[in-house]
Structure formats: structure tokens, C-alpha cells
Chain A
Amino acid sequence: MESMAARRTKRTLRKNEFRKRLCEAKQFASEPGSKIVDPADCVSLLEAVIQSGDRVALEGNNQKQADFLADCLCNMDAKRVNNLHMVQSVIALPSHCEVFERGIAGLADFSYSSPQSARVAQMVSEGKMKIGEIHTYLELFGRYFVDLTPDVALVTAISADRAGNLYTGPNTEDTPTIVEATKFRQGIVVAQVEKIVDRLPRVDIPGEWVDFLVPVGRPCYTEPLFTRDPALITDVHVLMAMMVIKGIYGEYGVRSLNHGIGFGTCAIELLLPTFAESLGLKGKICSHWTVNPHPSLIPAIECGFVESVHSFGSEVGMEDYMASRPDVFFIGPDGTMRSNRAMCQVAGHYAVDAFVGSTLQVDRYGNSSAAVAGRIAGFGGAPNMGCDPPGRRHSTPSWLRAGRESAMTSGLIGPVERGRKLVIQMVETFGAGRVPSFVHRLDAWTLMEEAGFAIPPIMMYGDAITHLVTEEGIAHLLRCDSLKQREAAIKAVAGYTDLGREADPKETLELRRHGIVQTPEDLGIDIGDANTSHLAARSIRELVEWSGGLYRPPDRFREW
């Protein structure tokens, strides 16, 4: 048993340690008592507040990035500071890899690394990066408050005042989560901001929680990840989108939902004011959204389809448009939107009727994965969106109907009624370059062997999927009463892939008769009429027109 004195020391050890570092780092403040540090002194500041072996949270997700602080981290002296344990949502920027290449960091716990997937795989194989675990965003955020609490957080905001209050604006994203986890365990918080102002539009992070401010004089890097040019939507996307709207949304009465970023879901959004409206579905489907502010949602919002949108992050160019629709978006008293990834992930996990995503590969059991051999890409938020949360207890009509149709549930819990979230995968039977999307063995298995993972990186497990939609039709997997029947339904919509060719035509007919498989014909959709002329907007420019000129697309999307 520890002595009383030892226990007392331990109680204050962490607090004293950080207090010591803060005192030392104060010499880099622009003037005594100030939290402001000249960008030129930022590397020295980091060398003072970070010590070898620290757990460091570097902010950045698939939108905003603490890019300046990431660069500074790379420029630290690896002899002085090394062996860092990085905990971060994404590995997206070259500098996120650089910090490992230079021997400053050694271990990474993260969620998503698609933009640097090949480099991450290579660093792992060369022993430069050790991966703790790959998480979903919610898992990682959860662990920030359990066993992965950061010692130092490097975050980004739009502006700050001298007291350290931060305005993170529409792209608030992960900042509150990271700062709260770090500061309430006495850690150190450093924020890069574009500028210091006298008065902030609103306070997103209280100044007491922020130790240092680095005004870098430019906005942080922000990726317009959710902007899809409607001109790139194909007739096949339109066909599949029509099937989802008529065969699933209309059928189940899907009111609340989350969409991924594929062109299939983009087509759904742009068919709401036209095709869905013509089916009389306005007011009956797609009224509440947990999605980023997709520009392709503008026509549906303007047509009165959409009642609310809560977002993980923002989208470049959507700021003025969102500010004009406080009836739809989450707008603060200052008039600008605030996103929050943790909250929106919770909402998308627990509070929606349906999730629709897309994937690269599906196996005969409906397990899907975007993993490719030689690339470590992670998961992001999709597995939390794309699953039926066992903890859900509130009901909606769609959830109840899906629960009643779930033919395999009673085999586990007996004759008890419970609902089910719809998890829909949209996938063309052949992807880019005529590569089959339906496979006997997922590449995830190869990646598992290569990278030494304990389990294959499956994005969504087959038991979570209620509907698989291809250009061949809809497989209502939830209606299947056995794994064998699920396999048959999957093969029935797998088209001319090797897996699809295994389908028994007689069995497929039987599945169609039971409404387990529906072809476009069964749904009353004429394939020959599926074309992009049905879209409410066919170019970025038409989206701008829908917004009344308030949506300002980034330069790379302006084609006029």
C-alpha cells in the first residue's frame, strides 16, 4: 500500500508537470502575460510544451486542418522531442506523415487516413509508424475520455480574442471534444488562428481552456470534401437513386437520415424536388438530416422538403446560404452556423431512420469494405452511421416497420417487438475500369495479412445492412429469414459479376415474388427513362441559381 505522501504526490504530479511546462513556455509569449505567440516562435513553443513520449492530439478532420501547427510539429528537433503518440481523427496532410518520417512520432491512434493511405501502409511496413488501433470517430472521441486522453492538443480556430476565447464558426467540427478532453485533465491547449480580434462573433471555446494562440495571418486549410458537381452524375446513378426513393424512402416513410458523399446519394438529393415530388412524397420523406451542408441539398431545401440539417462540419462556400436559412441549419445568435462532429455522429448513430452509403466491395454475405491492398484508409464515421444501434429505444414509423420486417430477429429475442434502422448500400455491380464490386473474397483480408491486423478492416458488417441497391434492383436483406436466403438475394442483384452469375434464375424469381428482391420493373421504374434530365440541378451553376446567388462555390468548381 502506498504511503499517504506518495498518494498526495501522485495527485498533483500531472498538474505540477504541466504547470512547469507552461511556466517555461511563457518566454515565447509576444509580451508578458499574453497568450499570443509569434508564428516564428511556434516551433520553440511546441518544443517547450511537448515532451518525448507525450500523447498529442493534432486537430484535423476531412475538412479543416490545424495545418500550421502540423508543419511546426514536423520542424521540432527530433533529438529533443520524439516517440510521440499521435491521437488524431485523420491522417490527411503530407505533414501528418512527415512527423513520423522524421522520427518525432512513433505511434498513431486514428480514424481515417484515406488521403495518405498508401504512405501510411508504407510507413507501417518500414516500421516508422506503429498503429495502436483504427477507430470510428465516436470510438476515438470516447477513448479521449478513457485511456487516450491527450497531454497536449493542437487545434485550429478562425479567430481569438486576447483572453484566448476561440471562434471556430461553421467548421467547429472536433475542436470542443479535443479541447475538453485535454484541458480537464490539466493538459495544454495550443490554437492556431487566422487573426486576433477585439470582439468575437461568438465564443465557441472558453478562453480559460486555451493556453496559447498562434495568429498565422491566413485561414487554415479546409477541404471542400462534400461538394459534388452534379454534371458528373450518370444515368445509372439516377436509376439507382429512383429505386431508393420509390422502393425504400417512400415505402418505409424515411423521415430522418444520413447520406454519404457518393454520387448516388447526390442524385437522390437532386431528385427530391422532381421525381420524389411527382410521387407525392414531399412532407413524407427526408425532412430531417444529419449531414454536412451538401450544396446538392439546396434545391430540396428551397422546395420545402427539408426541415432541419445538423452537420459534422461545414462546407466551403455554403456559409452565406446557411446563414440565410436559420429555419433549417443550426445557426448561432451571431448568425453563423456551428457544426459539431461528436454531436452529429451521435445523432446519425441514434436518431435517424436511415443511412445510405456506397462502397467498393461486397462479399456474398453482404460484408462491405473499401479497403484496397497496399493502402490503409481507416473508417471515419461510416460504421457508426451504417449500423443499427442496439441501444436505441425511441420509435419512429420507419424504424418500427423495418423492425417488423426483420425476419431473423425473433430467432434471437423471441416474439418481442423492436425496431430497426435502415442501412442502405448503393453500389454499381461494376466500378471504375469494369472492376467487379461483388467478390468472393474482400481485399480487406489481404490487407489484414499485410498490415498484421487482428481482424479484416470491414467497413460495414453484412448483418447491419438492410438493403443492397444495385442497378439490377433492390435486395431487401432484412426480409430474409436465413443467411442462405440473404446470399441468394445478394447474388440476385449482383448482375454479371462472377458472384451474380451464380444466382439461380428460378430462385431469383421466387425472391421477386416474395418482395425480397425488386427490379426496376417491379418498382414501376422505366430504365429507359432514367436520365440526368430529371435532376433539379445539373451543374454547380444551377445550384448557385437555386441558392439565389448565396452559395459561393470554391474557385475550383466555377465553370463560367
Chain B
Amino acid sequence: MALERLEFEYTGEPEEKRNGWEYLHVGHVMSGDLEILAERLPAQANASKIHVTTSAVGFGSVWQMVIDEFMATHKARGCEIWINDDGATPAVVKLRLSQLVREMSAK
């Protein structure tokens, strides 16, 4: 019945270029979907933390793979990402993360 909470942490080179966003928000919590909140960490920070809260228990290894792949592709560093998930499929998770990245580069 309880929610599952997962944490992921990544380190790497700090970004060269900082876009103008401080925080971003995409999506909604509804069945099969999720919301993502991204917050800028202070400059120089090169780590990223990702917090997942999900109602679908037992999918930790899939989350690990999806987020590993996302971080490997997009190198989103120096930010903290919060995800509230209500049973989204990996397809939806990847799509929302990509929408977030698009917002990041738009600002």
C-alpha cells in the first residue's frame, strides 16, 4: 500500500554553459503518468540527485536503467530532480524527461 521511494545520484563534469532556468516543472500525477520538478543546484555543483516517489512498487531496477540512460544521454548535471509517479510506463517516463530537457534548453 505504501509508496516506494528511490534515490539516484550522478557525478560528472560541471556544465560549461548555464542556461537561465532556476526550476522547471512538467507533467501531472495521474494514472500512468508523472510529474517532474527540476531545481538548479548552486553553481559549481556537478552532482545530480534524482528522487522518485512511485505508487508502482517493485520497479526499482527499471527506474535505474531508464534514469541511467537518460543521464548518460543528456548529462543533466548540477540539478536536483523530483519525480512523483503514478505507475507511468518507461515510455512515458522517457518522454516526460525529454520534455523537461527541452524546457531546460529553451530557457
Contact = CB atoms under 8 A, between A and B. Distances in A.
Interface of A: 234-236, 239, 428-430, 432-434, 470-472, 495-496, 501, 526-531
B90 A236 contact: no
Interface string B88-101: 01111011001111
A527 B66 contact: no
Contact of A530 (B66, B90, B95, B100): B95
A269 B94 CA distance: 24
A326 B87 CA distance: 47
A471 B94 contact: yes
Decide if the interface of chain A is mainly helix, strand, loop or mixed.
mixed
B85 to A, nearest CB: 11
A528 B98 contact: yes
Given A496-B65, A528-B98, 12 more contacts: A235-B99, A236-B91, A429-B91, A434-B56, A434-B59, A434-B87, A471-B94, A495-B91, A496-B66, A496-B90, A526-B102, A529-B102
5 contacts: A471-B94, A496-B90, A501-B65, A527-B99, A528-B103
A92 B65 CA distance: 43
B89 A428 contact: yes
Interface residues of B, number: 19
Interface string B63-107: 001100000000000000000000101111011001111110000
Given A434-B56, A496-B65, A496-B66, A527 B87 contact: no
B62 interface: yes
Contact of B99 (A429, A470, A472, A531): A531
Contacts of B62: 496
Nearest to A431: B89
Given A239-B95, A471-B94, A530-B95, A434 B89 contact: yes
A527 B98 CA distance: 6
B89 A526 contact: no
B89 A430 contact: yes
Contact of B94 (A234, A501, A527): A527
Question: Shortest 9 CB-CB distances between A and B: which pairs?
Answer: A528-B102, A528-B98, A527-B98, A471-B91, A430-B89, A496-B90, A528-B99, A236-B91, A496-B62
B82 to A, nearest CB: 18
Contact of B98 (A428, A429, A526): A526
A430 B93 CA distance: 12
A55 B3 CA distance: 58
B64 to A, nearest CB: 10
B58 to A, nearest CB: 10
A234 B93 CA distance: 13
A429 B95 contact: no
B52 to A, nearest CB: 15
B26 to A, nearest CB: 9
B102 A430 contact: no
B30 to A, nearest CB: 11
Contacts of B100: 528
A432 B100 CA distance: 24
Given A430-B90, A434-B87, A496-B62, A527 B95 contact: yes
